[in-house]
Amino acid sequence: MTKIIQGKCQDILKSDPLFRASGEIALTFLDPPFNQGKELRSCFYLVRTHSQTYSQVRISLVEGSFFETLPKDKLMQAIWRQLLEARGVKEIEREQIVEILGDLDQSEIALSREIAGASIRPRLRLMAEVHPDGNINRYPEIEPRTLNLVLKKEETMGLEWLATEFERDGVVIISKERDGQESLSLQFGSQVIRMRVVTIKHRRNGEHLVLQMKLDR
């Protein structure tokens, strides 16, 4: 969290031409400690909306769970089932095929294939579009001209948990406010940054904690 506030996201936005050119875009953002071994890997998405409108721009770093409302195996089974149903495959046969295809990993599906007589090596690619309910920057709690960190909310996560995590990173907590609106004031060197703490309810995936900072420039 400390790295994000200290400007790492801003460095990405300045250097990546895709972000300068597009209105809405997301990419995988992996913090190095999470990118070592399958058990520790954590995926984040950087989402920017209204990039061409100074007064309305919103930037959010979103934990992958916000979009992963179904386990991957269930999602893949549903895709195969819909395809087979659309082709009129009988239910008994359909479920047998779905059971086999449902075990395929995405990396297996994406492999380049050697086909006898073919001058190309075809590969299948799965693409996705975000459902409106999964667009974090359309939620009313995500205010214009803000930088947001969005995390799946566990029972113990709140203002005190955030303060503890920042102190663990060596950040000085200037104040914690609770009167009507929770917030933290943090000191980074000579700079003091006030951050709003809010909870949003994902319409398909429960509560998420948002740490929100106003963009002054």
> Domain check: are 99 and 173 in the same one?
no
Residues 77 and 114 in one domain: yes
What pairing do the DSSP bridges indicate for beta strands 25-29 and 172-177? unpaired
Q: Can you tell me the distance from the alpha carbon of 105 to that of 170, in angstroms, rounded to the nearest whole number?
A: 41
- Are 159 and 172 in contact by the 8 Å Cβ rule? The answer is no
Whether residues 164 and 109 fall in one domain: no
Domain residue limits at 92: 68-129
At 106-148, the pLDDT tens digits run: 788 889 999 999 999 999 888 888 888 788 898 999 999 999 9
Whole-number pLDDT of residue 169: 84
Question: Could you tell me the pLDDT band of residue 11, with boundaries at 50, 70 and 90?
Answer: very low
Residues 62, 21 share a domain: yes
Which sign, positive or negative, has the C-alpha torsion 32, 38, 42, 45?
A: positive
Q: Pseudo-torsion of CA 36, 105, 18, 217, nearest 10°?
A: -50
Domain end, chosen from 129, 145, 166, is at 129
| Residues forming beta bridges with residue 29, ordered by sequence position | 44
| Predicted local confidence at residue 93, as pLDDT | 94
What pLDDT score was predicted for residue 8?
47
Strands 206-214 and 183-188: unpaired
Q: Does one domain contain both 72 and 124?
A: yes
Q: Does pLDDT of 37 surpass 70?
A: no
> Which regions of the chain does DSSP assign to beta strands (E)?
25-29, 44-49, 58-63, 146-152, 172-177, 183-188, 191-202, 206-214
Q: Does residue 57 share a domain with residue 156?
A: yes
135 and 58 co-located in one domain: yes
> Which residue has better confidence, 195 or 28?
195
| Pair 102, 77: CB distance under 8 Å | yes
